[in-house]
Structure 1
Amino acid sequence: MGLTGNVASGKSTVAELWRSWGVPVVSADVLARQAVLPGSAGLASVVRAFGEGILAPDGSLNRAALRRVVFDDDAARRRLEAIVHPSVRVLRDKWTDARRSWGVELLAWEIPLLYETGADREVDRVVFVDAPEAERERRMVQHRGLSSEEARAIMEAQGDPREKRSMAHHVIDNGGSLAALRARARQVLEACAEEVGCPLR
């Protein structure tokens, strides 16, 4: 299954719920951080592309500095994605192959850029998590320390979610309570499992 959604929609919460019900979920964001750890070929490539100004004093990647470089520059963002995405794909496939070798049938990839990277064509079901814009903005301001202007700029850069909603097999609306999200996440998980022939135990 492919689990996706725009920023602050709650997809990571859904991923945690699925894990608690025994379904392995790998996060592309976590893999992206692994791909640019200090000493990695990925980080060396990022530094060659964008300069040492994107490094923290300890030699790790300064994500805030890199975000400032690429956020308003489409060419720079594409250059960064061309460096990081192939490494993420390799790590993701290794993770998947390992679990397949253990006999795991039902698993999920949590990928914010699922459609943009073409990963939607590699999964049996796509689940899109969504929430009202005002709620997503509030979450980014309260939980991530962004200003309202920064939050709105990020949401605008990700575009209108309606097209992605229409392409997904299932949509989880996360504008209400955690209990409501939990119930819907379980309902969608059971539906996906049934549809791909791997009923939950």
Structure 2
Amino acid sequence: MTLSAFTRTNPRIVGLTGGIASGKSLACTMFSSLGVPTLCIDLVARSMHQDPSHPATRALATAVPQAMTADGALRRGSLRTLFARDETANTALKEIFRPYVQQAVRQWTDAQSALYVVWEAALLADLGLSVDRILVIEAPPELRTSRMLTRSPGWSRDDAEHLIAVQAATPLPFASPTDILMNTGTRDDLSQRVRAQHACYLARWS
């Protein structure tokens, strides 16, 4: 069963996305505090990356051995170094893990009974799954760079700016209706915008 084949007894799906350090994880947490089931798809993938026994991780170890630790897990930091700069390795990573991530997302969504759910993903277009609406969290690149360097002191400005540029080159699946929330102010400002967007979704789908 594909997500596009869901009946109306299944929840509507909001795909929450945005560039790194835009504030999408914070926005996702705010939706969760409002009682909306939320799933961070990046964390789903990360749990697979760190499991040496997972079939996708074993396949990646064969395809891109330089990205793996001695015990067979994905080397921490490789997503912003090797995979952000090596298109061949990045393509292998996406193609190997995509079907497993899709399956996990479908299973989680099937188990929900809410009016709508939120999937959070940095690269929503890479999932290959349909959503009812896309919610993009946006912030200027310089502000995002500053946030990245503050929360990850080990990163260089070049690493941060390169990753922002790579993500900007990845198209969003705008075939779905899209909403945009700007996150340039305080946490309270974003919270108010999330509450307003939540009210819109309730009104639309109730």
SS of 1:62 mapped into structure 2: coil
**Structure 2 residue runs without a partner (length 5+):** 1-13
TM-score by length of structure 1 reads 0.86
In structure 2, the residue matched to 1:141 is 149
TM-score by length of structure 2 reads 0.84
The verdict on how the C-alpha distance between 1:9 and 1:165 changes in structure 2, with shifts beyond 3 A counting, is farther
**Structure 1 residue runs without a partner (length 5+):** none
Alignment partner for residue 69 of structure 2, among 51, 56, 80? 56
Alignment partner for residue 124 of structure 1, among 120, 132, 138? 132
In structure 2, the residue matched to 1:191 is 200
In structure 2, the residue matched to 1:5 is 18
Alignment partner for residue 159 of structure 1, among 153, 168, 178? 168
In structure 1, the residue matched to 2:52 is 38
RMSD: 2.1
In structure 1, the residue matched to 2:82 is 69
Number of residue pairs aligned between Structure 1 and Structure 2: 190
2: CA distance between counterparts of 1:47 and 1:160? 27
The residue correspondences of 1:80-119 to structure 2 (distance < 5 A) are 80-99=93-112, 103-119=113-129
1:34-72: per-residue Cα shift (whole Å, max 9, x none)?
A: 223121111101101111x32334543213245433222
1: CA distance between counterparts of 2:174 and 2:55? 38
2: CA distance between counterparts of 1:181 and 1:49? 41
Structure with greater helix share of residues: 1
**Structure 1 consecutive aligned stretches of length 4 or more whose deviation exceeds 4 Å:** 163-168
SS of 1:107 mapped into structure 2: strand
